[in-house]
Structure formats: structure tokens, C-alpha cells
A = this chain, B = another copy of it.
């Protein structure tokens, strides 16, 4: 065998999202891009806010010694300070710059966190449906994924989580607003989860970390607020990305934030910095670090996504589809009209509609629509959606 055996095995069952993306490219070539309704990828169609553009233009022209030189592995102190201040102000906490480590997006953050925490065989509880990459990120460091179902409305099932915790449990991973469901866990459920992890930690005499993947934390609708995880539980670690808030997923910039009261704080911070270095990230891209330091108040206009959500929900509801209306992120997780979601996704494909089967997210019987697309894509897809559900009747 030339390449690694495990990687060889993974290639064959590669991401369903990317597969759809490739199918889409073929269809677009055949029928023209405007005749294909691509809801497969969470690649935001909204432009970054003006503040971002202006800051990039200004920074590009400015003379700064060593502007593109190496940064500290943890990131520039000024950037980390700005983020700590923002968190402190909005969540009423007391983070220092040291409690923030810059990362290459949330994906980079999660890899650094898992490498820092996991010994071989350590279990991480992942709630289904889940973001497709989580099992890879955990397996990278020989952790073991323990799947726990959420309730029918995708809310936290505290009893099920409790039942899954054992002596090997190192962490619980949550993602709210959720990809693929758009669910936001409410304050009560976060409090219940924090209470459970505190009690279980005492009972088992160990630290159970709560890792919160929060790239969509600022993409929320209808006045919903996302509870502060760092506030709710001392052994919490947040993985954040600017990909969605500033609409720049291509630039790979995010951070890890740690509750200053966390167990073995100094060790953990050192571990996160070391792992950022030795995993080959070295540090988050310097230019983007300098920019986000200045843009703590900037964000895309969430109303634009809310309008898309509403259009989509109304259209699909009229056509007879069933779903939980999402409170955040830009995904709709729709019940497949037939039990076999992969089969139904193929039916949609015949209407030139690209979505991802729920099976890819550990949520069979559903499909995911990423609605971070042009309004016209949503509008023009409605006929095909209606035909597809009618075809099943």
C-alpha cells in the first residue's frame, strides 16, 4: 500500500456535500448555471461588510514593519485583546488576551482543541444530526465518537447525553446555531447540560469539557439569542470562525476562547499554542488577524438570510414539505417525503436541484438545504421542489 490505509478507506466514502458540489458542476455545464439550483454548500453568497472591504484596502496600502512576517503561534496580542474585550462586553465575562488563541477558522480551532485534549480512546459525545467533518476531526487524534441523538425538534436530549457519559468521556461537542438543522439551544437546555457535566465530572472525578463550535453564533433570526457557553460552564472551550459573520470562509480566520476558570488553564493554553504550531498551522493568517482586530462590531446583514429562510420555508411548506423552522445559521433540514433520503435527493437532482442527504449528517430521513444563495435560486427552484414531492405521491 502506498498511501495510508485509513486515508485510502476514507477517500472512497468521501463527503456527500462535496460529491453534490461536483454533480452540480456537471449539471451546470450541461444546462447552464441559472438552470441549476445548488443548495449543497454553505458558501455564503453575501458580500463581506463594507468595513471589511475598507479595512483590507487600507491595510494593503499601509506601511507596517514586518506586516507579513511571522506572528506569535497564539496570534497577535492586539487581536486577542480585541476579541477578549468583545466577549467580555457581550457575555459579561473576564477573559484576558491569553484566553484567546487565533486559529485557521473553526475547523482549525477544533483540530487544535482535539489534539490538545484527546488521549487515544478518549470519547467525545457528538449530537446527531452533526456537521459531517466532526468524526474526522476526532478520529485524527484517535478519539472515539459517541453519537447521541437530539430530540425530534433537534433540541438537547439531556437524559440521552447523561446515559452516554462514562469514564472515557473527555468532552461533549455542541454546535448552536446548528449545521445542518438551524437549531439554537436555549438557555435552559444549556444550563441543564452545564449542570449535568458538572455533576458527572464530580462523580467520575474528572474534567468533562464542553466544546462549542460557534461559526453561526451571530446568524440568528426573530430576536433569538444564543446563550453564552463560557458563562454557563467553566470547563467550556469555544471554537469560533469569522467565515459567516464577515462572509469570508476562504480566508481561514477564527479563534479558540477558553473560560479563564477552566481546570488546568495554563496547561491547556500551552497545549493549544503548541498544537497550533506542531499541526503545521504555525499561526492564523497574519493579514486577517490584523483585520478582524478592527472589526469586532462588524457583521453581515442577517436580515438578508432571514428573508431567504422565510421565502424558502413558505414555499416548501405550501408544497407540503415538513420541517422545523430554523432559528439560526443558513440551513434548513427537511423531512424526506420518502424514507430513503438518498433516493429522494436523486429525485431532486432530476429537477436540477442539489441538496445533501441527511444520512451524510447522521440524520437519515432528512435532507439539508443550504440557503445562502441568491433569492432567484430559491424562487426558481420551487417548481422543482413541488414536482419532486408530487412524484412521490
Chain A interface (Cβ < 8 Å from any Cβ of B): 1-8, 10-11, 14-15, 18, 41, 43-45, 48, 53, 56-57, 59-61, 66-71, 73, 104-105, 107-112, 115-119, 133, 136-137, 140-141, 207, 247-252, 263-264, 267-268, 270-271, 274-275, 277-288
Docked pose: A342 CA to B5 CA in angstroms: 42
A251 touches B7 (CB 8 A): no
Q: Is the CB of A279 within 8 A of B70?
A: no
Copies in the complex: 2
Min CB distance A229 to B, Å, is: 18
- B280–A249 contact, CB under 8 A? no
Q: Decide: A4 and B68 in contact? CB cutoff 8 A.
A: no
Partner of A285, one of B5, B43, B250, B270: B250
CA distance A133 to B280 in the complex (A): 9
Q: Is the CB of A250 within 8 A of B70?
A: yes
Contact A282 B56 (CB under 8 A): no
Residue in B15, B141, B282, B288 whose beta carbon sits within 8 Å of that of A277 in the complex = B15
B140 & A250 in contact (Cβ 8 Å cutoff): no
Cβ–Cβ < 8 Å partners of A140 in chain B:
115, 278-279
Quick check: B141 and A4 within 8 Å, CB to CB? yes
A275 contacts B69, CB within 8 Å?
no
Task: Choose among B7, B117, B280 the residue that contacts A4 (Cβ–Cβ < 8 A).
Answer: B117
Contact across chains for B264 and A3 when beta carbons are under 8 A apart: yes
Determine how close the nearest CB of chain B comes to the CB of A315; give it in whole angstroms. Answer: 25
Question: Shortest CB–CB separation between residue A130 and chain B, in angstroms?
Answer: 15
> CB within 8 A of A207: which of B2, B6, B248, B282?
B2
Q: Are A268 and B4 in contact (CB under 8 A)?
A: no
**CB <8 Å contact, B110 and A280:** yes
The answer on a CB contact under 8 Å between A3 and B117 is yes
Residues of B within 8 A of A10 (CB): 274, 278
Closest residue to A55 on the B side, CB-wise?
B60
Does the CB pair B11–A267 fall under 8 Å?
Answer: yes
A109 contacts across to B, CB distance below 8 A: 280
Given A60-B57, A60-B60, A268-B2, CB of A68 within 8 Å of CB of B250: yes
Q: Are A7 and B271 in contact (CB under 8 A)?
A: yes
- 16 additional contacts, CB 8 Å, given A3-B264, A4-B119, A136-B277? A2-B263, A3-B116, A4-B271, A8-B271, A14-B270, A69-B247, A69-B248, A70-B249, A104-B104, A105-B282, A108-B282, A111-B279, A137-B278, A140-B278, A251-B285, A285-B285
Residues on B with C-beta less than 8 A from A43 are 66, 69-70
> Which residues does chain B contribute within 8 Å of A280, judged by CB atoms?
104-105, 107-112, 133, 137, 279
Q: List 30 A-B contacts (CB under 8 A).
A: A2-B207, A3-B116, A6-B119, A7-B274, A7-B275, A11-B267, A11-B274, A18-B277, A41-B70, A43-B69, A43-B70, A56-B60, A57-B61, A59-B60, A66-B250, A70-B249, A71-B250, A104-B282, A105-B280, A107-B281, A133-B277, A136-B278, A137-B280, A140-B278, A140-B279, A249-B282, A250-B286, A251-B286, A252-B281, A281-B281
Q: Which residues of B contact A2 (CB under 8 A)?
A: 117, 207, 263-264, 267-268
A207: chain B residues within 8 A (beta carbon): 2
Given the complex, which residues of B lie within 8 Å of A108, measured CB to CB? 280-282
Evaluate whether A285 and B3 lie within 8 angstroms (CB atoms) in the complex, with A140-B279, A267-B8, A280-B110 already known. Answer: no
Which residues in B have their C-beta under 8 angstroms from that of A264? 2-3
